[in-house]
Amino acid sequence: MQKKLHIRKGDTVQIIAGDSKGQQGKVLMVEKSKDRAIVEGVNMVSKHSKPNTKNPQGGIIRKEAPVHISNLMVIDGTGKPGRTGKRVDAKTEKLVRYSKKTGEVIK
């Protein structure tokens, strides 16, 4: 069975809990099996790497770590975070996500 999540790749989200609380960014990847998402520029960790062919210098690499999706909230068209819901669109008769605060459809 496929999981349905309120977060999708490409969404702009705000972190609502944890060390990165209040930061905003774009979702780069969603791991449905682990309920986690990688957000651009948020939850940065340092990874030490040995020299290799890809990185001949080696050293410390800063990269994004996954964040649990329960700690993310989608930012709607007004630029503020809000809860999302799902409903059937009257024109296309397809299931769409919408902002519960404003009622507009989230693309």
Which pLDDT tens digit goes with each residue over 68-103?
999 999 998 888 898 999 999 888 889 999 999 888
pTM of the entire predicted model:
0.82
Place of tokens 């791991």: 31
Strands (E), the chain: 12-15, 24-31, 36-39, 44-49, 59-64, 67-68, 72-74, 84-88, 95-99
Q: Which amino acid is at 107?
A: K
CATH fold for domain 12-76: SH3 type barrels. (2.30.30)
pLDDT in tens, 40-62: 999 999 999 999 998 899 999 99
Domain ranges (residues) in the chain: 12-76
> Which of 40, 10, 46, 45 lies closest to 24, judged by CA?
40
